[in-house]
Homo-oligomer: A and B are copies of this chain.
Amino acid sequence: MERTMYPLDPKEMPTAWYNILPDLPQPLPPERHPVTKEPCPLDMPLPPPLFPDAINKQEFSKERYIEIPEEVQSIYRLWRPTPLYRAHRLEKALSTPAKIFYKYEGVSPAGSHKPNTAVAQAYYAKKEGFKRLATETGAGQWGSALAMGAMFFGLELKVYMVRVSYNQKPYRRMLMETWGAQCVPSPSPDTEVGRRILKENPDSTGSLGIAISEAIEDAFAHDDTKYSIGSVTNHVLLHQTIVGEECRKQMEMADAYPDIIVGCIGGGSNFAGQFLPWIRDKISGAKPDLRVICAEPQACPSLTKGPYTWDYGDEAGLAPILKMYTLGHTFVPPPVHAGGLRYHGMAPIICHLYKLGLVEARAEHQLATFKAGVTFARTEGIISAPEPNHAIKVVIDEALACKESGEAKTILLAHSGHGHFDLAAYDEYLSGRLKDYEYPEEKVKEALASLPQIT
């Protein structure tokens, strides 16, 4: 019998998240205050206190392992441990000697990795006595995950959803509502900033930057409310390490260790959750040859094209200033289907590792990623979201390189979720209507001109 799935017994599910901060070869550049632009001490939560205390502490923790509260573990167990698969059929279709594995987060009720942090963030907010959460969402992936997380702890949730997506993609809105959250199109008449923008432009289709501003304003305006974010920050990456921690145990079951780990990056949390628990072996020198490849869209290539500099985490300039590879916080990427990869910057931890030469990056065109996604669907069965299709494209390239060189490398794919809500994009691809977007060099140049001035 050819072994395909490596399920981890629920009793073996890791009970701690892995924190890379103490293992970094050089410390992460400190965040800067959005108004004063001065460095903030690492052990002091930034004003404004957007997050619960426990989250602020995790953001800068020096502990290598942080225990996952039993209440969070208990919800993780509704779908975790997630399966690790060996992609025998894809390997055969490519005639590659490479061994391809994939860890699949699509089995969560929300269909992606996002609940790993949503559940944790909701738990801490509840524990500290808050009643409500506010957040933004683009295509709705994060909003629906947090809707589920908030529901489990009896928290109210208001999601500000970018209006163009709210109108075009009603299914994730319905998902949020089924789990009991309130979802409004952004800009909305419910906040100061929303009213201002609607007054200036009643037909505004919104942007993630506006939605963030609305969610933050909402959290500020209500004492019982905290803001919640779905990627980029250290604590989100921390919560996602449950993925890689599980995967290490499963790869051991398969008697395998990856030569190459591949994942897609938007804000970076999905892939960091997988690779951080492995890259410590590279940092420590135990596995110096381990390669980690980040896949990003050609339409929004932060790592491969952006400068490493100081920039706001959000468009409105309310969030901390972070040292990132960035295309500029006012940059609006072309409308590729991989909505989760349309972020101007990148998680500071990933940027830091990229700067240190510990991870690689590759930018892919939309059409090629859908071609890869269809190959995956027609061999492994799973219809993937447009985001992981970027990683699948890179995996296939690496597997074909193995065919060329005759090397039987072990490739591990971080598969972040299914594409059940993205079938219209597949339809566009299959009917020849899907197109590529060139890297919008001029727009980036313009956006980079408005970076915060840090001396």
Q: List A residues at the B interface (Cβ < 8 Å).
A: 1-5, 7, 9-11, 73-75, 77-79, 85, 89, 107, 109, 111, 148, 151-152, 170-171, 174-175, 177-180, 374, 377-378, 380-383, 420-421, 423-424, 426-427, 430
Contact = CB atoms under 8 A, between A and B. Distances in A.
A73 to B, nearest CB: 8
A151 B79 CA distance: 28
* Residue from A174, A179, A420, A427 with most neighbouring chain B CB atoms (10 Å): A174
Given A109-B383, A148-B381, A382-B109, A423 B78 contact: no
Given A178-B377, A381-B148, A427 B170 contact: yes
Given A3-B10, A11-B1, A430 B177 contact: yes
Given A89-B152, A179-B378, A180-B378, 5 more contacts: A5-B10, A78-B85, A109-B383, A177-B426, A179-B377
A8 to B, nearest CB: 8
Nearest to A77: B4
B7 A10 contact: yes
A9 B1 CA distance: 13
12 contacts: A2-B74, A4-B74, A4-B77, A109-B383, A151-B378, A152-B381, A170-B424, A170-B427, A171-B423, A177-B430, A180-B378, A420-B420
Nearest to A151: B378
Given A74-B2, A170-B427, A180-B378, A175 B383 contact: yes
Most buried by B among A73, A79, A148: A79
Nearest to A78: B381
Contact of A178 (B74, B89, B423): B423
B178 A430 contact: yes
Nearest to A171: B423
Contacts of A107: 107
| Closest 6 A/B residue pairs (Cβ) | A109-B381, A174-B423, A420-B420, A4-B77, A174-B427, A7-B7
A152 B380 CA distance: 9
Contacts of A374: 178
Contacts of A427: 170, 174, 177
A438 to B, nearest CB: 26
Nearest to A110: B381
Contact of A5 (B77, B178, B383, B423): B77
A148 B77 CA distance: 29
A151 B180 CA distance: 38
